[in-house]
Chains A and B, each alone.
Chain A
Amino acid sequence: MILDETSLTALWWAVILSGIYHGINPGMGWPLAVSAGLMERRNSALPKALGLLALGHLLAMLAILLPFSLMTMLLIWEDELRIGAGLLVIAMGVYLLINRQHPKMLARVHPARLALWSFLAAMAHGAGLMLVPVYLGICAIDASEVGHQAARTLMAGNVQNALAVAFIHTAAMTMAGGILATVIYFWLGLKFLSKTWFNLDVIWAISLILVGIFGVYSAYSGH
């Protein structure tokens, strides 16, 4: 049980750290918040833009996590589900590694539709998928702790977990992106926009593959 508690803590930290990681990636939208503040010539436009970006990101997380939380009802398939999810995340990572084209789809969104843009950006990058192995790990520990409760109780717990994972992750992401956007907007200036902009494509794809491998491994090893 002590091991479980440590694992659980580690998994929740993974939720927070992945949020920070997503937040500092310019591909998840913090430059849009800077641009909104400057275009509207109002400081208040910046937090408003961050809020809309957060909303889109949250919805993208839920769109991926909630279907998985329903599938956890199939208790006897738990390992298969976790392995399958891990493989799916690995596949997304491999796809992003191979397909390195300049993204066009996101550029089609109107610049003012920030929540939609953020939702699509998270989907296109597999941001939600990156959380799935972590989420299923949390659910698995919970399941072993509560023992053989009724499936309904467990599922309710898993939906709560999905919401908690999505909220905490999005909060961490918004915090990280928000700090970067604010510092650049108020103090550093736009020169730092291009200076802090690193190409995370490969690292991002590898992150997905690693998280996927973790998911498959932890399912095999029992957690």
Chain B
Amino acid sequence: MNMRPDPTFHATAQLAMQAPVENYGFTVMLSPDGENPDGIAVVDLNPKSKTYGQIVHQVIVPNKGDEFHHFGWNACSSALSPLTGHAFLERRYLIVPGIRSSRIYIIDVKDPLKAKIHKTIEPEELFKKTGYSRPHTIHCGPEGIYVSTLGGGGEDGTNGPPGIFIMDCETFDIIGRYEMDRGPQDKHYDFWWNLPQDYMVSSEWGLPPQFENGIVPEDLLSNKYGHSIHFWDLRKRKNVQTIDFGENYQMALEVRPAHDPAKSYGFCGVVVDTTNLQGAIFTWWRDDDGTWQAKKTITIDPVPTDADELPELLKGFAAVPPLVTDIDLSLDDKYLYVACWGLGEMHQYDVSDPMNPVLSGKVELGGISAHHKHPNGKDFAYGPQMVEISRDGKRVYWTNSLYSSWDDQFYPNDSGGQMVMAHVGENGGLTLDKDFYVDFPKGYRSHQIRLEGGDCSTDSFCYPNV
């Protein structure tokens, strides 16, 4: 037990931006065919180090077929919440769920170079205590660690709706389900919140049979993936409002609220609009009378392409859809980064006015038909996908894999995992760093990145910027 709050906890997003920069990154190593066990790669991010830009340590788990995807910290700046009055947790453990196996690993990264497994929670415990399966997003909240799941009970995860469960932030015991009243929510993906304003927002991907063995084209064309976001009274654990973007807005994935808790808005990315193959970003906000609203504020057009250059799945459309698969918001709430995994582009939008985003930077890399090369001359497999921004907002890191079986459908000829980095210009703009290119060990793909000391999609701040 510490005597002082962890130095990586910050009262405001502003203070987090001024904190020392990251020295290490933690990135998912995914064995897509389950031939090898998955792991977490520790990447040296200190430009002064001899091993800069290299994987300096790997935590390889003992089981195969877990399918690592997203992960998060045991504690973040939310520990400074004035309501708990007890800020003495340590940011030390990564909570890493397997979304295929439903197994959860707790990895001790106190010394990143000696990171090791601290505890393993077997799937049976999760099933027994929550009735949920396929754990996904991690956030540290008022009553412990909140984890979203993609599946309900039963073999294929369709016995009952998926939801969120809570884990003890010190013992990592699973406490139980979060929801008291889920309303119409029957699918799940991401969630995040505003702690002082006491609301949570959750999103929808699809049920396990809709993604585990690959995207189901019939389900997509008949608009059966998720297209709604849900607003919750966080402490009453109650769904208070559901906003349906419209059934053509298939797969509402990442939820990114403004980091400054005085603001009552945020963003949500939609993978594909089935009427025109566009990618879309919605801005959601709270009205003066307390009602939630959402409006489409960014659209990204598909690129017409000769069918010969397209994978089986897309031949009939003669176009490459942008496929907005991840978004991330800088800590100053100024830039929204949008991964266009299909096009092979990373967009940077100035969202100072959240209702009128302006494209302020763009990097081309990989892509279904474009195959843009990295400035170092090497190929980049797949397209820009999981994106993470440094706390100071000056460096943007990303990897290339979406999800094992989906990668193979959209990019049947690609393989491998890479992590790259781009610099953010003084007044916006985005430039790839020629020398930062982490090639993952053979047989591994890469997914979510977490930065030492917190990043732009982990920490929840309890005090507004001054």
Which residue numbers of A lie inside 8 Å of B, CB to CB? 25-29, 31-32, 34-35, 38-39, 41, 100-104, 106-112, 117, 121, 189-191, 193-195, 197-199, 201
Give the complex CA separation of A35 and B464 in angstroms. 8
Q: Are B463 and A35 in contact (CB under 8 A)?
A: yes
Q: Which residues of B contact A107 (CB under 8 A)?
A: 81, 83-84, 142-143
Within 8 A of A (CB), among B226-278: 235, 261-262
Nearest chain A CB to B315's CB is how many angstroms away?
53
Main SS at interface, chain B: loop
Flag if A108 contacts B464 (CB, 8 Å).
Answer: no
Asked whether A102 and B170 contact (CB < 8 A) given A189-B466, A198-B3, the answer is yes
Closest partner residue, chain B, to A49 (CB atom): B82
Residue from the list A25, A27, A199 in contact with B1, Cβ < 8 A: A199
Task: State which of B2, B84, B261, B462 has its C-beta within 8 Å of the C-beta of A106.
Answer: B84
Is B88 at the interface (CB under 8 A from chain A)? yes
- Return 7 A-B CB contacts under 8 Å, by A number: A32-B83, A39-B261, A106-B83, A109-B83, A190-B11, A190-B463, A194-B80
Is B4 in contact with chain A by the CB < 8 A criterion?
A: yes
Distance A101 CA – B394 CA, assembled complex (angstroms): 38
> Total A-B residue pairs with C-beta atoms closer than 8 Å?
103
B466 touches A111 (CB 8 A): no
Q: Which of B2, B169, B195, B196 contacts A199 (CB 8 A)?
A: B2
Residue of B nearest to A30 (CB): B82
A108 and B235 in contact, given A35-B196, A199-B3, A199-B88 (Cβ under 8 angstroms): yes
Which residues of B are found within 8 Å of A35, using beta-carbon distances? 82, 196, 462-463
In the assembled complex, B203 has its CB within 8 A of some CB on chain A: no
Q: Which residue of A lies closest to B87 (CB)?
A: A197
For the complex, what is the distance from the CA of A197 to the CA of B462, rounded to whole Å?
Answer: 15
B11 adjacent to A193 (CB under 8 Å): yes
Nearest CB to that of B171 among chain A residues? A101
Shortest distance from the beta carbon of A86 to any chain B beta carbon, whole Å: 26
Alpha-carbon distance between A106 and B83 when the two chains are bound, in angstroms? 6
Q: CB < 8 Å: which of B5, B82, B262 contacts A32?
A: B82
In the assembled complex, how far is the CB of residue B171 from the closest CB belonging to chain A, in whole angstroms?
9
Excluding A38-B262, A199-B3, 19 further A-B contacts by CB distance (< 8 Å) are A28-B85, A31-B80, A35-B196, A35-B462, A38-B466, A39-B262, A102-B144, A102-B170, A103-B84, A109-B235, A111-B195, A111-B196, A190-B11, A190-B15, A191-B11, A194-B10, A194-B80, A197-B4, A197-B5
Residues of B within 8 A of A25 (CB): 85
List, in ascending order, chain B residues with CB within 8 A of A193's CB. 11, 80, 463
Minimum Cβ distance to chain B for residue A184 (Å) = 10
Q: In the complex, A104→B82 CA distance in Å?
A: 13
Q: Which residues of B contact A (CB under 8 A)?
A: 1-5, 7, 9-12, 15, 80-89, 142-144, 169-170, 195-198, 235, 261-262, 462-464, 466
* Choice from A102, A109, A112, A194 contacting B86 with Cβ under 8 Å: A102
Contact status A104-B11, CB under 8 Å = no
B contact residues around A32 at 8 Å (CB): 82-83
CB < 8 Å: which of A39, A102, A194 contacts B5? A194
Please pick, from B88, B142, B196, B261, the residue contacting A108 in the complex, using a CB distance under 8 A. Answer: B142
CA gap between A117 and B198 in the complex, in Å:
15
Contacting residue for A27 out of B85, B144, B169, CB 8 A? B85
Q: Is the CB of A199 within 8 A of B262?
A: no
Q: A38-B464, A190-B15, A194-B11 are in contact. Are A103 and B86 (CB under 8 A)?
A: yes
Which of the listed residues A29, A102, A199 has the most CB atoms from chain B within 10 Å of its own CB?
Answer: A102
Q: Which residues in B have their C-beta under 8 angstroms from that of A110? A: 198, 235
Taking CB atoms, residues of chain A closer than 8 Å to B83 are 32, 106-107, 109, 111, 117
A26 adjacent to B3 (CB under 8 Å)? no
Question: Chain A residues near B466 (CB, 8 Å)?
Answer: 38, 189-190
Q: How far is the CA of A35 from the CA of B84 in the complex (A)?
A: 13
When the two chains form their complex, are residues A121 and B85 in contact, meaning their CB atoms are under 8 A apart?
yes
Residue in A closest to B2 when the chains form the complex, CB atoms: A199
Q: Quick one: which of B170, B197, B262, B462 has the most chain A CB within 10 A? A: B462
